[in-house]
Structure 1
């Protein structure tokens, strides 16, 4: 079973692919979209387009563009846009986010949990800068170390110690790059636990509901492995922060 399929099944009951509650998502979007009544939003790595769809639902005069390489996720986004009646206000592109160009800038650029597509946080912000209208905002979500990672945490994440920094250093790097945080949200332990239990539970439930499917065993194995890596490895070690940024 390929990674993209596993991710879609795992996020069936938690479509925001990050450890954030619906309330946190709504508050972050409110801060990122305000005060403009109309504008354009760009999500560089939109997945199923959840952030953009919620933005369009909250702002009936905004338009949006999403870019991703996951064809099935984009199909889901298009179907959801039609169901919400916002399909005329959103454009979805099957494209590497690094290759996307547009003739007009955007009032809001998003990348939540997909900075790996650009090679890290600062390269992601550099890409966002190229698309941002004067006075616009960037909504970016990135992991950080809540505490020094153990070997079990690093193994469970398949990460290197240098891949992330602590929260203070993460924010300092953003500020040194010429950005000003105007809002931020750190995921709580409850949000992390809800997210991880939903991720592993949704995938395991699919395997139980489809025992004859050729991928059922792989799905169950992936759920069991992920759960063990989280509970015995990185729980309480990996943090997640979403920042609303403006240029100096």
Structure 2
């Protein structure tokens, strides 16, 4: 990448609506059980997993994702923080994961990677997750849900092909987790501030770049991409789509 190319997600700490305060609370709760092995599905650059490793010095982690650029960022961060020998970032398909069940499984906004079925995929993904967690372990599921039923205009403004059947409400999400063989230890949801910080950080580096490079060869396409995403958020899913963080305990 040259100095004048559009940046990519450089101002994001987490790839989702997750505040520092909530992340610290999640880490504190998830390490109480003393996990020795951590599996992060759709890990991106694995920031939450790296923080878990810092809090649990004897643990090792494997992060799986398809995005090579994000994985490289995760490896750089692990190296800089002295965690490279305990964090393995693997490029691959989460649906083809080998190996033994992990003590702690993270699946944050990546449940669709665990099934080839069309949305809603949550029930199928939960059954896969039940087989990936060791007895007495934990799953942290970050999954979208409808805060309220979306209108036709809101759906039309969202991502291509968005439908009301794509997500469940929060109560149904918890019930599906129970049906898959879990007890729901903890339920929390991203708040408006977390969403707005995430969405702003998601595009802010590119917005600043566009202000300084309005005549760059890539500027027109980048402006259109930014416009589409902002419209999808502000006209579509803002206040409609929620994100739940469910801490799940497998039933013996």
Instruction: Indicate which of 52, 67, 81 corresponds to 1:70.
Output: 67
Contact 1:31 1:183 in 2 (8 A): no
Q: Across the two proteins, how many residue pairs are aligned to each other? A: 240
Residues 1:233 and 2:233 are matched in the alignment: no
User: 2:220 & 2:55 partners in 1: Cα distance?
Assistant: 40
Per the alignment, residue 27 of structure 2 pairs with 29
1:48 and 2:41 are equivalent in the alignment: no
Deviation at 1:146, TM superposition (A): 0.6
Tell me how far 1:17 sits from its aligned partner. 1.2
Aligned to 2:193: 190
1:199 aligns with 2:166: no
Alignment of structure 1 residues 198-217 onto 2, 5 Å: 198-211=201-214, 213-217=216-220
1:59 pairs with one of 56, 74, 81 = 56
Give unpaired runs (5+ residues) of structure 2: 116-120
Deviation of the 1:229 alpha carbon: 1.9
SS at the partner of 1:26?
A: helix
RMSD: 1.9
Confirm or deny: 8 A CA contact 2:11 2:204 kept in the other structure: no
d(CA) in 2 for partners of 1:212 and 1:63? Answer: 47
Higher helix share: 1
Cα deviation for residue 184 of structure 1 reads 2.1
Per-residue Cα deviation, 1:200-245 (whole angstroms, up to 9, x for no partner) = 3233223334446543322222112211221122211111101110
Q: Please name the residue that 2:151 is paired with.
A: 150
The aligned residue for residue 113 of structure 1 is 109
Q: Judge conservation of contact 1:32–1:138 (CA < 8 Å) in 2.
A: no
Provide, for residues 10-41 of structure 1, a one-character-per-residue CA deviation record: whole Å limited to 9, x for no partner: x32123111111111121122222121x5110
Q: Secondary structure at the match of 1:74?
A: helix
8 Å CA contact retained: 1:143, 1:164: yes
Q: Is the 8 A contact 2:33 2:137 kept in 1?
A: no
